[in-house]
Amino acid sequence: MFEPATVKSLLDLEHTLARPLLEPLRYPWEALPGIGDFIVRLSESLPEGEYEKRGENVWVAKSARVFDSAYLHGPCIIGPETEVRQCAFVRGSALVGAGCVVGNSTELKNVILFDKVQVPHYNYVGDSILGFHAHMGAGSITSNVKADRTLVTVNTGAEKIETGLKKMGAVLGDHVEIGCNAVLNPGSVVGRNTNVYPLSMVRGFIPPDSIYKRADEVVSRD
C-alpha cells in the first residue's frame, strides 16, 4: 500500500551518505534534529584520500570546487564533484551529496542534499531534505518556521501528521522540479517526479508524478 510522505515513498537512499540516518525512519523529517551529530560521526569513516578537512567539522571532497567567497560552517560535508559557487552561505549541519550545485548567494542550514541536487541561484534551504536530482529554480525558497511559531504539521490530505518540530522546511522527493520564485511553506512535502510552477505557494503534500499549478489545480503528468 502506498503511504504518502514516507522515506520509502519519496527517496532513493542509494544516492546519499545519509542512508544510515534515514533508513530506520518512517518519515524523513524525523532526521532533521540529528543531522549535525550524524555528520560528525560520518566524518570518521570518510576516505582520507578523497576528503580534506577545511576547518572545525568541515570536510570537503578533493574533487569538489568551492569558490573562495563561499562560507562553510561545520558540521558540514561537501561531496565529490560538487560545486559551491560565489558567496554561498553554508551555515552548518549540511550534508551535501555528490555532483551537486550550491549556487551564488544560496544559503543552506540543517539540510540533506542527495546526489545531483541543484540549488543554483539565490535559494534558501533550511531544515529540509532534497532528494536525488531535485532542482530548485532561481529564487525559490523554503520557509521553515510558521508565522504563529507553533509546531509544524504535514497535511497529506488524508491526515495531519504532527512532526513535533518548530522548524521544518520542505522534503522534496527524487527528481522534483521547483519553479523560479516558488515558496515552500513549513511542512511542504513534494512527491517524486513532480513539477511545481514558478511563483507558486506550496503547502502540505503534493502527490508524485504531478504538476502543481496552484493549490486548487494539481494535475497528473500522465
Chain segment 150-194, per-residue pLDDT in tens: 999 999 988 999 999 999 999 999 999 999 999 999 999 999 999
pLDDT in tens, 45-55: 999 899 999 99
At residue 2 the predicted structure's pLDDT band, cuts being 50, 70 and 90, is: low
The answer on pLDDT for 79 being more than 60 is yes
> Residue 135 sits in which domain range?
7-220
The answer on pLDDT for 1 being more than 80 is no
Claim: this prediction has a pTM higher than 0.75 = yes
Three-state DSSP state, 84: strand
Query: At 37, which helix (H) or strand (E)?
Result: helix 35-43
- Residue 32 CA to residue 125 CA, distance in Å, equals 13
* Residue 162 domain-assigned (yes or no): yes
- Residue 188 CA to residue 83 CA, distance in Å, equals 26
At residue 41 the predicted structure's pLDDT band, cuts being 50, 70 and 90, is: very high
* Residue 2 domain-assigned (yes or no): no
At position 139, the amino acid (one-letter code) is: G
CATH number at residue 24: 2.160.10.10
Contact indicator for 125, 111 with CB cutoff of 8 Å? yes
pLDDT at residue 193 in the model: 97
In a 10 Å sphere around its CB, with 0-12 CB exposed, 13-18 middle and 19+ buried, how is residue 218 labelled?
Answer: middle
- Residue 117 CA to residue 78 CA, distance in Å, equals 12
**Other residues' Cβ atoms within 10 Å of the Cβ of residue 216:** 5
C-alpha R_g of the chain = 16
The rounded mean pLDDT for the chain is: 96
C-alpha distances out from residue 180 to 111, 120, 141, Å = 20, 11, 9
**Tally of structural domains, the chain:** 1
pLDDT at residue 216 in the model: 87
**Other residues' Cβ atoms within 10 Å of the Cβ of residue 207:** 17
Percentage of the chain lying above the pLDDT 90 cut: 92
* Residue 1 domain-assigned (yes or no): no
- Residue 116 CA to residue 155 CA, distance in Å, equals 28
Strand partners, 129: 112, 171
User: All 3 cell numbers of residue 89?
Assistant: 552561505
Beta-sheet pairing, 152-155 with 160-165:
antiparallel
